[in-house]
Amino acid sequence: MSCETEDPIIRLKQIKDNISKPEFIYEHDKLDKAITIMRINNYSQLPVLSEEEELIGYISWTTIGTAFSQGVQLDIVKHYVNKHVIKVSLDTPLLNAIRSIYEHDFVCVMDTDTSNKISGIITTTDISLQFLEMAQPFFLLEQIEKIIRKLIKIIPLCEIKEILNRNTQLNSINDLTFGNYISLIKEDNIWKKLELKYVDKEIFLREFDEIRNIRNGIMHFKPSGNTHDKCNQLEKIYNYLTSIIFYRSLPSSSDSASGENRGM
Strand (E) or helix (H) holding 177:
none
Residue 150 and residue 110 share a domain: no
Phi, psi of 15 (to 5 degrees): -120, 25
Residue 252: band (very low, low, confident or very high) from pLDDT cuts 50, 70, 90: low
- Please report whether residue 213 resides in a domain: yes
Structural domain including 204 reads: 131-252
Query: How far is the C-alpha of 173 from the C-alpha of 171, rounded, in Å?
Result: 7
- Please report whether residue 167 resides in a domain: yes
- Given the DSSP bridges, would you call strands 106-110 and 55-60 parallel, antiparallel or unpaired? unpaired
Residue 78: band (very low, low, confident or very high) from pLDDT cuts 50, 70, 90: very high
Confidence at residue 17, expressed as pLDDT on a 0 to 100 scale: 63
* pTM, rounded to two decimals: 0.55
Q: Say if residues 155 and 190 touch (Cβ distance below 8 Å).
A: yes
Strand (E) or helix (H) holding 156:
none
What tens digit of pLDDT does each residue of 178-199 get?
888 999 999 999 999 998 888 9
Say if residue 12's pLDDT is above 70.
Answer: yes
Quote the mean pLDDT of the chain.
Answer: 82
What tens digit of pLDDT does each residue of 130-163 get?
777 777 888 899 999 999 999 998 999 888 888 8
What tens digit of pLDDT does each residue of 58-71 get?
999 999 999 999 99
- Please report whether residue 199 resides in a domain: yes
Residue 172 and residue 140 share a domain: yes
**What domain count does the chain have?**
2
Residue 141 and residue 248 share a domain: yes
CA 209, 214, 220, 224 dihedral sign is: positive
Q: Say if residues 57 and 78 touch (Cβ distance below 8 Å).
A: no
- Please report whether residue 47 resides in a domain: yes
Of the two residues 101 and 6, the one the predictor is more confident about is 101
Confidence at residue 95, expressed as pLDDT on a 0 to 100 scale: 83
Q: Please, what is the angle between helix 124-152 and helix 94-104, to 10°?
A: 130
Q: Tell me what percent of the residues of the chain surpass a pLDDT of 70.
A: 81
- Please report whether residue 261 resides in a domain: no
Say if residue 264's pLDDT is above 50.
Answer: no
What tens digit of pLDDT does each residue of 86-133 get?
888 888 888 888 888 888 888 888 877 667 788 788 888 777 777 777
If phi over 0 gives left and psi between -120 and 50 gives alpha, with beta otherwise, what is residue 195? left
Please state, as a whole number, how many other Cβ atoms lie within 10 Å of the Cβ of residue 12.
23
CATH code, domain carrying 28: 3.10.580.10
Query: How far is the C-alpha of 167 from the C-alpha of 175, rounded, in Å?
Result: 12
Domain boundary among 90, 116, 142: 116
Say if residue 30's pLDDT is above 60.
Answer: yes
Domain boundary among 69, 89, 116: 116
- Please report whether residue 3 resides in a domain: no
Instruction: Name 38's Cβ contacts closer than 8 Å, sequence gap at least 6.
Output: 44, 45, 46, 61
Across the range 170-185, mean pLDDT stands at 87
Domain boundary among 64, 85, 116: 116
- Please report whether residue 263 resides in a domain: no
Residue 24 and residue 136 share a domain: no
Across the range 244-261, mean pLDDT stands at 59
Q: CA angle 65-69-71, nearest 5°?
A: 120
Strand (E) or helix (H) holding 91:
none
Query: How far is the C-alpha of 141 from the C-alpha of 215, rounded, in Å?
Result: 7
